[in-house]
Chain A
Amino acid sequence: MPTAAISLRPSFRISSQLGLPALLVCVALVLPLFNAVFPPGHPLHLSLFVVNLVGQIMCFALLALALDFVWGLLGVLSLGHGIFFGIGGYVMGFHLLNSAYADTQVLPDFMQFMGWSTFPAALQPFAELPVAVLLGLMMAVLVGGVVGLAAFRSRINGVYFSIITQALTYALMLLLFNNDLGLGGNNGLTGFTLLAGFDLAHESTQVGLASLSAVVLAAVFFLLRWLALSSFGQAMVAVRDDEARLRFLGFRTDRIKLAAWCLSAAVAALAGMLYVPQVGIINPGIVSPMLSVEIAVWVAIGGRGTLIGAVLGAVILNCLKFWLSAEIPSAWPFVLAGITLLITVALQNGLWGGLQQLRALRATA
């Protein structure tokens, strides 16, 4: 089923989109500066809590970018990107369990109540950080590849694909909740102490992680934007607009889709890996169907297909969520619902897209 055409292709050619990565690098520098230089109590001091929050939002923005890459550019709506976020998160969790065990010689809680006496061999390959990161990315690509192959080969498209991704994320969530698998179950993975030799409880580590997240976001954005502007990106957009025609022209559309899909999976896994050390716990809730739909909502509200819109949507909505959940908890679902409805019905191109349209209108007026 062809999705609605987006009349914003010109926006990719705006080279000053480099502004966003530059801004993010600034943020990455500001965070540690304002946290360390100004003492607590100073109006410009950024507390650990705020820095941590910014770091988490960066990870969500990365996740939104990953989804926008396949949805906005490729036209494939995945409502299961939580799977890859979860894979990255859990792999990082395995690594952190390893380093915590090496540090304290105490088995994690869930292993104790399952009755295990030694650190399981299955988790030991994740002991080294570079290896763990690599393994995590590979696993995400593998899972993405299997799902993509199965789906794209049989031409499952549009809403069927979205529903199936929801079902798959639901299945994964159920599997993870089961303690017999030895992955922490409902308890999740906790008890993290060290990351690459740095003490996770220490304020400077958290600040560093937040900065790192901002930098990674900038780098990935740059990369994805470059891809989008390349001929590969044009092929993706062509697949989105009329796959049948492209196929008849001789392009291997399923390969294009698979490649983009796997890249998106890897980026989502990366987001997960950055997220877990900052939150300090990972549990199957991260793979819940609801969160995966929320990611799509961030992208839709920000403006899909524009990459920058995804980041914008993720940032704005998550800030709103954190703020509202603290102040008026019961209002958040209504606010989210209202914004989503407004965007889907009226502002189909999202906030960023709407802005672009406004500019275009002004330019022609």
Chain B
Amino acid sequence: MKSLFDRLRGSVRWRCWLQHVLIACLCAPVLQAQAAMPAQERLSIVVSICTDPGSYRSAMDRVVQVVVGTSPEDADWGKTFLERLQAVALICREQGGPVFKVEHGHVDAVTLEPVTDAVDELPMVPTLVLARLLKNSQAETELFSPDVLTRRAAAQRMSQAYAQINEPLVRLALSKAADAEVMETLELTLAKRSLASESADLRVGAIRAMGSAPSEGTRTLLKNYQEDRPDMGPGERAALTQSLSQINRVLWVGKAASIIFSGLSYAGVLLITALGLSIVFGLLGVINLAHGEFIMIGAYATFVVEKWLQAHAPGWFDAYVFLAIPFAFVVCALIGMVLEMTIIRHLYKRPLETLLATWAVSIALIKLVQILFGSQNVEFITPSFLQGGVQLYPALFVTWNRVFAIALALVIFAAAYALIRHTRFGLLIRATTQRRDTARALGIPAPSIDRMAFGLGSGLAGLAGVVLTQIASVNPSMGTSFVIDAFMVVVLGGAGSLVGTAVSSLVLGEVNQLIEPFYGAVAAKVAVLLLIVLIIQRRPQGLFALKTRG
């Protein structure tokens, strides 16, 4: 694949040769190994940062030059300076000179020697402008780092901040670059700057480069270009149109994909919250209005596991979600079985009473959790492997926590399906619900099966709570917002049918996310609810009906 620079080079060979000479001249002073920088120089850099906002840019440039091109000792000083400034640890004292705050005290900002006298002042808080410059400068220094991933990240930053970078430095980094991805990114950076070049050919080349690197940013640049230059030449106009249409096509695909992804994520949430309900409602005929509270208890069980691991086994902390899965399942299943034994058992033939009784249990559970844990949100620290996300495609950014939630939902669904369809236990449950008397005649202990099925449903709700800790807010009343959606999913899908639950979750999740960008979250929710009511009109038993005890 021909490099960008080659394409540019091919068309303006002699001009480029001049540029090469220019680069060499500019960078020469930087590349020369200099004698150690005098302390005065360091002090003047620090003082400009402390006192003169107008000189931030030049001070930062000087620091970068120090890190990149001088003696190792000065480079270390430069790196420390950048790092301490970012950590809000530079204290500009009025008397005694500036110091850095370090772990056990303070060091002088110029000599890095420890300082013994007491320091009262608070560190300087970088303004947003300084913070931005700092970030760019750090990226500029990292362009020369030995680690290739650091260099790639730094190159990305250069591309993002193309308007404020130090161009000769970037060219230098490009000439020394060995990694293909770094080269491409740096060339794109330079191309972005070339959009403002004097030479029409360079500009055309830049436009073409934008077209092959589609993103919101490059689209913006080209649109700006289009507006600012109504009098451009035919060659430019052709290239511009072609690039823009290319970018628009790619971005449209990305946007559609991201809507589908959000739909999947929402569907995943609906699926796991509705799964337990499908079993309990569909197979047992029990309306469990406390289902949302089982979800909430599962989430709080995860919280307990997280806190315990944090205190007693910090090395295992990142695995808290996985460890919470069996714990939450068992806790919720046990509570569910107790509930069944004490209350639900008496109310099997009376669904409306069950409804009220489970509602009563739900408000008691909510209050209990409020008393034990407080009514505020509990925050979960996202495990390190779930933080952030990845830009899969232009305009499609997926966050790992949602990917994880979707994956976990599918795994849990598959496990539940396998359990109901392919194990003896599942067979017993199905037998008891479809032909209760025959099952009992065959010696199947129907009351125990009921209890265990209810426990299974509650346990699955607990698992939903575990998954939700990563993507939703957790507080004692979180269950109420999920229970109505879960019921709707089950009603639409057909009570008792796991496949129906899966299908209706998918449908409802996608419909909701399709409407949301246009009309807002509330309208989407309302529309989905009305849609379900309409469908139930035609098919009251749901999409995939299953014969139940009814």
Nearest opposing residue in chain B for A155, CB measure: B540
> What chain B residues lie within 8 Å of A156 (beta carbons)?
536-537, 540
The reply on A162 being an interface residue by CB < 8 A is: yes
A290 within 8 A of B: yes
Which of A159, A289, A290 makes the CB contact (< 8 A) with B352? A159
A293-312 interface (Cβ within 8 A of B): 293, 296-297, 300
- Asked whether, in the complex, the Cβ of B367 is within 8 Å of the Cβ of A171, the reply is no
The complex places the Cα of A160 from the Cα of B380 at a distance, in Å, of 36
Q: Which of A128-184 contact B (CB under 8 A)?
A: 150, 153-156, 158-160, 162-164, 166-168, 170-171, 174-175, 177-178
Q: Could you tell me if B351 and A297 are in contact, using CB atoms closer than 8 angstroms? A: no
Interface centre among B343, B355, B360, B370 (most CB of A within 10 A): B360
A290-B292 Cα distance, complex, nearest whole Å: 13
Q: Select B361's contact among A158, A174, A289, A341, beta carbons within 8 Å.
A: A341
Once the chains bind, are A345 and B347 in contact (CB under 8 Å)? yes
Q: Does A124 contact B (CB under 8 A)?
A: no
**B356 in contact (CB, < 8 A):** yes
Q: How large is the interface on B (under 10, 10 to 19, 20 to 34, 35 or more residues)?
A: 35 or more
Q: Indicate whether A336 sits within 8 Å of B525 (C-beta atoms), given known contacts A155-B540, A159-B352.
A: no
Q: Is the CB of A297 within 8 A of B359?
A: yes
Known: A159-B287, A290-B480, A293-B359. A171 touches B526 (CB 8 A): yes
Query: Which of B111-119, B140-148, B484-492 faces chain A?
Result: B484-492
The number of inter-chain residue pairs (CB within 8 angstroms) is: 114
Judged by a CB distance under 8 angstroms, whether B346 is at the interface is yes
Of all chain A residues, the one with the shortest Cβ separation from B538 is: A154
Contact code string B480-519 (vs A, CB < 8 Å = 1, else 0): 1000100110010000000000000000000000000000
Residues of chain A lying within 8 A (CB to CB) of residue B364? 333-334, 337-338
**Which listed residue, B352, B367, B533, touches A77 by the CB 8 Å rule?**
B352
**Interchain nearest-CB distance for A49 vs B (Å):** 26
A258 to nearest B CB, angstroms? 15
The yes or no answer to B180 lying at the interface (CB within 8 A) is no
Cβ contact of A174, chosen from B355, B359, B522, cutoff 8 A: B522
> Does B130 interact with chain A (Cβ within 8 Å)?
no
Complexed CA–CA distance, A341 and B289 (Å) = 13
Q: B532 on the interface (CB 8 Å rule)?
A: yes
A297 cross-chain contacts in B, Cβ below 8 A: 356, 359-360
Given contacts A160-B536, A163-B487, A175-B522, contact A336 B529 (CB under 8 A): no
Q: Flag whether B445 is at the interface (Cβ < 8 A).
A: no
> Which of A4, A162, A289, A340 counts the most B-chain CB atoms under 10 A from its CB?
A340
Q: Are A340 and B355 in contact (CB under 8 A)?
A: no
Please give, as numbers and ranges, the residues of chain B lying within 8 Å of A163 by CB-CB distance: 287, 487-488, 491
What secondary structure prevails in chain A residues at the interface with B? helix
Q: A162-B352, A170-B484 are in contact. Are A337 and B361 (CB under 8 A)?
A: yes
Please provide the chain B residues from 358 to 386 with a CB less than 8 Å away from any CB of chain A in the complex. 359-361, 363-364, 366-367, 370-371
Q: Say whether chain B's binding surface is mostly helix, strand, loop, or mixed.
A: helix
Residues on the A chain within 8 Å of B287, using CB: 159, 162-163
Are B537 and A341 within 8 A (Cβ)? no
Within the assembled complex, what's the spacing in Å between the Cα atoms of A309 and B536? 34
Contact A341–B357 (Cβ < 8 Å): yes
In chain A, positions 271-328 with a C-beta closer than 8 Å to chain B are 289-290, 293, 296-297, 300
B108 close to chain A: CB less than 8 A: no
CB distance B351 to A333 under 8 Å?
Answer: no
- Interface size range of chain A in the complex: 35 or more
In Å, the complex CA distance between A156 and B488 comes to: 14
Decide if A348 is an interface residue (CB 8 Å cutoff): yes
Nearest A residue to B354 via CB reads A344
Check B435 for interface membership: any CB of A closer than 8 A: no
Given contacts A1-B550, A167-B529, A341-B357, contact A333 B363 (CB under 8 A): yes
For the complex, give the distance between the alpha carbons of A306 and B487 in Å. Answer: 31
Instruction: Annotate B425-457 by CB proximity to A: 1 below 8 A, 0 otherwise.
Output: 000000000000000000000000000000000
* Contact (Cβ within 8 A) A340 B359: yes
- For residues 309 through 361 of chain B, which have their beta carbon under 8 Å from a beta carbon of chain A? 343, 346-347, 349-353, 355-357, 359-361
Judging by beta carbons under 8 Å apart, are A167 and B347 in contact? no
Chain A residues with Cβ below 8 Å from B366 are 333
Whether A330 is near chain B, meaning CB under 8 Å from some CB there, is: yes
Contact with A along B256-277 (1 / 0, CB 8 A): 0000000000000000000000
The answer to whether the Cβ of A3 comes within 8 Å of any Cβ in the partner chain is: yes
Complex interface: chain A residues within 8 A of B346 (CB): 345
Say if the beta carbon of B530 comes within 8 Å of chain A: yes
6 closest Cβ contacts across the A-B interface?
A340-B360, A337-B364, A333-B367, A337-B360, A344-B357, A344-B353
If A174-B526, A333-B364 are given as contacts, then 6 extra A-B residue pairs at C-beta distance below 8 Å, sorted by A number, are: A77-B355, A166-B484, A290-B480, A297-B360, A338-B364, A340-B359
List 16 contacting pairs A-B, 8 Å CB cutoff, sorted by A: A3-B352, A155-B540, A159-B355, A160-B540, A162-B287, A162-B355, A163-B487, A163-B491, A174-B526, A289-B480, A297-B359, A336-B363, A337-B363, A341-B343, A341-B357, A344-B357
Q: Which residues of B contact A (CB under 8 A)?
A: 287, 289, 343, 346-347, 349-353, 355-357, 359-361, 363-364, 366-367, 370-371, 480, 484, 487-488, 491, 520, 522, 525-526, 529-530, 532-533, 536-538, 540, 550
